[in-house]
Amino acid sequence: MRFRSLAAAASLAVLLPGLAMTSAHASVPAHRAAKVTLKDLPASSEVGRKVTLAGTAKPARKGKKVKVTVERLYAGGSWQKVATARTNKKGKYAVKVALTRGGTTSFRVKRAGGGTTAADSLAVYQWLNLVDVPFLVGGGAVEIRRVARIGGRAFPNSIQLPQGNGGLAVKPNGLCTSLEFWTGFLDSQRSGLAATARQNGGLGGYGGPAQSQVSFSTPVGPAVRVSLDLTGQRYGFGEVMVADAPNTDLVLASPRLRCNATTVAEMDWNELSL
């Protein structure tokens, strides 16, 4: 009898831990709701616009409002607090944050009392003056940062190529979508121009899946806008010249780049094997 009692006790001892584990596991929910969430951000936006960060934050008690903190991260930097807000009674929040700098930007949201969302990022595009970033230009005694007057209109930060011949190169490295400028004969050099006088040029984007190109032929008159698609391109390159108009200069008026960055890479002419 004693042997049977000990055996029964031993069997019970073996079974009880299994029962205890089953009971403990059964008390844990299959999935715990996150304390704070953040809805997906748009893929891209522009400097000067605002992005809305929205989601939910779980309150400590039903109906209680929760404080949330929005943090921002730029490439190579550290997380910085940019805004705070409180949820409504349903636990929802929405915060608008101004976009003030180009480049990939990350956001996350922290809940007071604990809980942080995963970071989400978007591309932020910014117009950069070409004369403020690394670029190459050739064609003699080039003048940079001129105020060019074309057709009665003033264009700051312009590039002036004496005698109207030269080349231009920039390295967007896939971070820019377009290069644009205005061009035309300077008001101060229109006197005596032939009716056939033209400013001719062509630009191309290279190093991407497919080349992009644009050409122009500008007569005497108002300034003409030229835009080159640089989406996915490693380089932007152009050649410009003046025809039938000796002793006049060619102007790239207020040239600028639209980039998901605050600057572009440096380069030299040897990189261009065109």
165-187 per-residue burial string, b: 16 or more CB within 10 A, e: under 16: bbbbbbbbbbbbbbbbbbbbbbe
The SS3 assignment for 132 reads: helix
Helix (H, G, I), strand (E, B) or coil at 164: helix
Domains, in order of start, for the chain: 44-126 (2.60.40.10), 133-271 (2.60.120.1060)
How does pLDDT run along the chain (274 residues), one tens digit per residue?
333 333 333 343 333 333 333 333 334 344 455 799 999 999 999 999 999 999 999 987 887 899 999 999 999 999 999 999 999 989 999 999 999 999 999 999 999 999 999 999 999 999 999 999 999 988 778 899 999 999 999 999 999 988 767 888 999 999 999 999 999 999 999 988 988 899 888 999 999 988 999 999 999 999 999 999 999 999 999 877 777 777 888 899 999 999 999 999 999 888 876 5
Is the torsion defined by CA of 142, 147, 149, 155 positive or negative? Answer: positive
CA distances from 82 to 2, 3, 73, 111, 151 (A): 74, 73, 10, 14, 45
65: closest CA among 33, 35, 88, 34?
A: 88
On whether the CB atoms of residues 127 and 257 are closer than 8 A, the answer is yes
